[in-house]
Amino acid sequence: MKIAVASGKGGTGKTTLALAMAEAMAEGCTLLDCDVEEPNCHLFVDVEPWQELPVAVSIPEFTDNGDCDGCGRCVRACRFQALARLGKRVLVFPEMCHCCGGCVLACPHKVLREVPFDIGTLQFRHGPGFELISGVMNVGYAMAPPLIRQLKRHIPPEGLVIMDAPPGTACPMVTTVRNNDFVILVTEPTPFGLHDLKLAVATLQETNLPCGVIINRADEGVALIRDYCQEVKLPVLLEIPYQREIAESYSRGGSLLTVFPSLRVSFRTLLTTQIPALLQAEGRL
Amino acid sequence: MKVALTSRGNNLDAALDSRFGRAANFLLWDSASGAVEVLENTQNLNLAQGAGIQSAMRVVENGAKAVITGHCGPKAFRVLQEAGVKVYLTQAKDGHEAIRLFKAGELKEAAAADVEGHWT
């Protein structure tokens, strides 16, 4: 089963929860850090990677061999303004390119060809019980989806997979949650938390993905989220109390399970019983 | 020589647009005849990304050999540089003042972009 941990708002506790769930499930569980712009799961798994794989995308390269007649078909084919034609020359802006290959196909003179362009690495670590695979995007590159897609190709055929999604509801989040069996939305009981939770729920409705909510820092104002969830018939899976000790432990690279050992059982129940039951009730399993 | 000025309006009385890629209009001023041609930039103004690149291509294609604007980002600058178009940055308030400074040789040619992409 594949379960993504996502949230519209950043800083709600996705990584804390994804790590704690992977730790609670341990053997046979794989954690994917899909927050490739700012991966941080590995900070809590204090070992060096046993494997690192480079990830490249294909971008066009212009060959100035005199065959270009400046027709501009490549520039018109590009939806991302990644090319500039100057007379009978073409300039390429790799950071703008979405690697669709359209310009190469559009060029009748074969002066554009695809070449690899490094965008990041995949790091593999043996965590405490679980396996961790992190996508690490190169500084200066802004397009996360190609790296996330490469990362997801390493999902093992069996066992539980937990994906720590990038914050927000844009392409990196959608790329991460796509093809998961269930999405856990982490939120906090604040107006911001509620606002961005609504955005995330709307995004998941568009992609027809089942989801449930974990309310983190459940304290004053928790009714705000509970009422909304009840209203839109969204299951509240768990509430994590608001405690300073959790933040202190996190800041030292510690696990949520150290502060709340009882959550180990809660997470196991959630992942092995509660979520499968929800999926079954919806006829998805 | 044709010089492209970024403008908030469609004549030299209008304020100089401080942005290059997302300038409202380009005024193509002919230094020999003094004639001014208006190049609208509406399409590039509304692009999600790449406005600088496309605007640079537009002024190059229209024969400009120099650009006078407020600021220029890195991608637009690369296109203009590759095309051999000189870039002059100025805080001049309108087209007339920019041209006066240009004619007097008081505008210095920019050696590099002066702002990051997507500055506001």
Residue A160 has pLDDT above 70, yes or no: yes
Return the minimum-mean-pLDDT range out of A44-48, A229-233, B16-20, B45-49.
Answer: B45-49
Spatial CB neighbours of A22, under 8 Å, sequence gap ≥ 6: A29, A30, A31, A127, A129, A130, A132, A162
Do residues A149 and A113 both lie within one domain?
A: no
Q: Which of B22, B75, B80 to mutate to test the interface with A (most CBs of A within 10 A)?
A: B75
**Using CB atoms, which residue from B47, B49, B78 is nearest to A91?**
B78
Give the domain-ending residue among A118, A143, A164: A118
- CA nearest B52 in A: which residue? A81
Q: Could you report the per-residue pLDDT of A15-66, keeping only the tens digit for each?
A: 999 999 999 999 999 999 999 999 999 999 989 999 999 999 999 999 999 9
Residue B114: pLDDT band by 50, 70, 90 thresholds? Answer: confident
Q: How close does chain A come to B100, measured CA to CA in Å? A: 30
Question: What tokens does B48 get?
Answer: 């999600």
Task: Kindly state the average pLDDT of the residues B87-93.
Answer: 96
**Using CB atoms, which residue from B50, B60, B83 is nearest to A81?**
B50
Give the domain-ending residue among A118, A145, A172: A118
Q: How close does chain A come to B51, measured CA to CA in Å? A: 8
Give the domain-ending residue among A98, A118, A138: A118
Q: How close does chain B come to A81, measured CA to CA in Å? A: 5
Given the candidates 3.30.420.130, 3.40.50.980, 3.30.1330.10, 3.40.50.10420, the CATH classification of the domain at B2-103 is 3.30.420.130
Do residues A9 and A100 both lie within one domain?
A: no
**Using CB atoms, which residue from B47, B51, B53 is nearest to A84?**
B53
Task: Kindly state the average pLDDT of the residues A192-201.
Answer: 97
Q: How close does chain A come to B65, measured CA to CA in Å? A: 13
Do residues A113 and A133 both lie within one domain?
A: no
Do residues A111 and A136 both lie within one domain?
A: no
Per-residue pLDDT, B119: 66
Task: Kindly state the average pLDDT of the residues B65-78.
Answer: 95
Whether the CB of B83 is below 8 Å from some CB of chain A: the reply is yes
Residues of chain A neighbouring B78 (CB-CB closer than 8 A):
91, 93
Q: What is the largest CA-CA distance in chain A?
A: 71
Whether the CB of A88 is below 8 Å from some CB of chain B: the reply is no
How many folded domains does chain A comprise?
Answer: 2
Residue B117: pLDDT band by 50, 70, 90 thresholds? Answer: confident
Interface contact flag, A81 B53, Cβ < 8 Å: yes
Do residues A28 and A66 both lie within one domain?
A: no
Do residues A146 and A69 both lie within one domain?
A: no
Q: Using a pLDDT cut of 70, give the percent of chain B over it.
A: 98
DSSP of B26-94, one letter per residue? EEEEETTT--EEEEE-HHHHT-SS-HHHHHHHHHHHTTEEEEEES---HHHHHHHHHTT-EEEE---SB
Per-residue pLDDT, B120: 58
Q: Could you report the per-residue pLDDT of B4-24, keeping only the tens digit for each?
A: 999 999 999 999 999 999 999
Do residues A144 and A110 both lie within one domain?
A: no
Domain of residue A175, CATH code: 3.40.50.300
Do residues A101 and A78 both lie within one domain?
A: yes
Whether the CB of A89 is below 8 Å from some CB of chain B: the reply is yes
Residue A103 has pLDDT above 80, yes or no: yes
Q: Could you report the per-residue pLDDT of A141-151, keeping only the tens digit for each?
A: 888 999 999 99
Domain of residue A90, CATH code: 3.30.70.20
Residue A191 belongs to what domain range?
A: 2-47+127-281
Residue numbers of A between 16 and 75 with CB closer than 8 Å to B: 75
